[in-house]
Structure 1
Amino acid sequence: MSRITCIAIFCAILTVQAKFPNDPKACKYGDGECIVKFINDLVSKKSATGDRDINLVQIDPLPVAKLQLKQGEDSPVNIDLTFTDNKLVGLSTMTYTKVKGFGKNLAQKHELLWNIKKISVLGPYTISGKVLILPISGNGVSNMTMVNAEAKTTFIGKPIEKNGETYMDVTNFKLYLNPERIYYHFTNLFNGDKALGDNMNAFLNDNWEAIFGEVKLSLESAFGEVYHAIIRNVFTKYPYDKYFID
């Protein structure tokens, strides 16, 4: 079994009350087409700045303090890989295509389908272990880039009563990823041995699909924790009924 620890640096949850933004206009309950447009407008206009009015943090680039991936000995990819003080770059290339849920009854399954053209994890790393048949070790700077990924997010809404009003907590959160391609580049592998490092980077990229098959659940959990925190922050700002037109 794999173990994921993912700690993202986010803006503090704002306590200053503000009027719910009217641009873009709020949608009717369960209006999937309107909600898709609403989210895509936010991604297009607010990725680089965030939006204090709805607790949306800056998402591109998004600082990630620590992301740790550990695969056990029972996996062909048996690694201990830690990204520290990295940046997640590319969330602004997200496009949402379909949304289900978000009706008057918030305690139901909600589903969002989206794709992302390119997303990269950039920054310092350390790694040790074995990838398929080869040992690997190193510490330096890495670039892990996912291209043309189809994604699905699901979660269950949990009603939280506060000051006489109902807010939605985001629970049972799951993220599913299906990338067209993943690229890896790690500097300073094997204590800076260029030949070994170049060969390992080539091996990782030549075998990216087999590697992804082994670490898929771990990567989905790691990215899911980051995405979960973003969505949860947004829904802590206002009572659930403030997000929709009755």
Structure 2
Amino acid sequence: MIVVKVLFFTVLVSSVICAEFPSTFKRCNRADQVCLKQAIQEAIPKFAKGFKSLGVPGIDPLTIPLMEIPGGNGAVKISQKVTDGKLYGLSTAVIDDFIFDVIKVDNAKIAWNFHIPNITLKANYEMTGQILVLPVKGKGVMNILLENVKGDEKIKVVTYTKNNLQYIKVNDTVLKMDAGHVTFNLDNVFDGNKQLSDQINQVMNDNWSAVFDEIKDGYNDAIRTFMDHIVNSFFAKFAVSEIFLD
């Protein structure tokens, strides 16, 4: 089971802050696909540093306090614990395709494809397992670069009532991201032996696709979890009537 830890988002989502919908955000009719795509594209970089006055954290970097990924059964079998993670690059996402399937806001379905030039993860890590025939056991600092990232996400949205007003929240999300190339740099990956650590880093980079296939589901799940909380913390501040024109 993949484990991710949310430290402060529950407080953010449940808090009530009286605020007006930011004038810098484009508003659309719910059936206007072109407007909605443009509005979301324009909104993505605005979430980079978050909205301190609203209690909404930023997405660039995206903070990942804890992520635990169990090992698989293939040639690459590594269990990984990541702490104090910072993920850079999400605010540069570009929407390629977008669909907002809605008759009414409740149970709306959103689907979009996107690409991101580079994503970088910097974090502390602990890792055990095996890469091909090489045993891996170490802990230290990791720096992982994902290039030419392509992704798709499917989102279900539901509504709830607060103070006699209708609000929306992300209820269910499926996120899949893959990379055109991945570069791994993990110090001390073979506990205390720099020469072997360098060799294992080389093996990981020579076989980056197999290594990334082992861990990408865990990374996708962590990003999805934290992004959902950030988006919901924003939506919790504004009624549906403030977000849409109709």
Same fold (TM over 0.5): yes
After superposition, the C-alpha distances for 1:74-127 in whole angstroms (9 at most, x for unaligned) are: 343322211111211122221223321164512132112221111111021111
SS at match of 2:138: strand
Q: 1:162 to 1:75 in 2, by over 3 A?
A: farther
Which residue does 1:171 correspond to in 2?
Answer: 171
Gaps of 5+ in 1: none
C-alpha distance in 2, partners of 1:225/1:27? Answer: 27
Residue 198 of structure 1 pairs with residue 179 of structure 2: no
Which residue does 1:57 correspond to in 2?
Answer: 57
Which residue does 1:78 correspond to in 2?
Answer: 77
C-alpha distance in 1, partners of 2:213/2:29? Answer: 39
Amino acid at match of 1:5: V
State the Cα distance separating 1:8 from its structure 2 match: 4.3
Which residue does 1:235 correspond to in 2?
Answer: 235
User: Which stretches of structure 1, 4 residues or longer, exceed 6 Å deviation after superposition?
Assistant: none
After superposition, the C-alpha distances for 1:203-232 in whole angstroms (9 at most, x for unaligned) are: 111111122233333332222212222222
Q: 1:91 to 1:68 in 2, by over 3 A?
A: same
Which residue does 1:162 correspond to in 2?
Answer: 162
Bigger mean CA offset, 192-201 vs 222-231 = 222-231
Which residue does 2:151 correspond to in 1?
Answer: 151
Which residue does 1:69 correspond to in 2?
Answer: 69
Amino acid at match of 2:104: N
After superposition, the C-alpha distances for 1:5-35 in whole angstroms (9 at most, x for unaligned) are: 1124556525221111222331111323222
**Contact preservation (8 Å) 1:60, 1:88:** yes
**Contact preservation (8 Å) 2:64, 2:222:** no
SS at match of 2:26: coil
Gaps of 5+ in 2: none
Q: TM-score, normalised by structure 1?
A: 0.88
Q: 1:151 to 1:56 in 2, by over 3 A?
A: farther
CA RMSD of aligned residues (A): 2.1
Which residue does 2:2 correspond to in 1?
Answer: 4
Residue 16 of structure 1 pairs with residue 17 of structure 2: yes
**Contact preservation (8 Å) 1:32, 1:100:** yes
Which residue does 1:120 correspond to in 2?
Answer: 120
Residue 90 of structure 1 pairs with residue 83 of structure 2: no
**Contact preservation (8 Å) 2:19, 2:237:** no
Q: 1:212 to 1:46 in 2, by over 3 A?
A: closer
Which residue does 1:105 correspond to in 2?
Answer: 104
After superposition, the C-alpha distances for 1:157-198 in whole angstroms (9 at most, x for unaligned) are: 122122222222212211011211111110012223122111
Q: TM-score, normalised by structure 2?
A: 0.88
